[in-house]
Amino acid sequence: QVQLVESGGGLVQAGGSLRLSCAAPGIIFSINAMGWYRLAPGKQRELVATITRVGTTNYADSVKGRFTISRDNAKRAVYLQMNSLKPEDTAVYYCNTVPPRSSSWGQGTQVTVSS
């Protein structure tokens, strides 16, 4: 199956913003919710935000009020608007279905937040 492709990461100062994008060709959005995950060194993979086919969203407590997940079904794309970034948000961010499809993990996009 075609891998998901994440983009938009980078280096940003604390308090700054980034917008991550996920392109999902070949993935059927109607079957599962989509989500953004992150992985930091020495940490377990964390589910940050989810969005259903019809747009219902859920967030981890650590990002609620700062991050916004959205999707464009016509483009088969998922986005993560990240505001008020903190150093503890530093991680590689991945998108995938919820629950994740093991064959669909992409390379992720690195987000680094400096103090």
**CA–CA distance, 41 with 53 (Å, rounded to integer):** 31
- pLDDT per position as a tens digit, 26-74: 655 666 799 999 999 999 999 999 999 889 999 999 999 999 999 998 8
pLDDT band at 3 (very low <50, low <70, confident <90, very high): confident
**CA–CA distance, 64 with 49 (Å, rounded to integer):** 9
pLDDT band at 84 (very low <50, low <70, confident <90, very high): very high
- Please compute the mean of the pLDDT values over residues 14-29 and round it to a whole number: 85
State how far the alpha carbon of 42 is from the alpha carbons of 46, 56, 60, 61, 69, in Å.
12, 31, 19, 20, 25
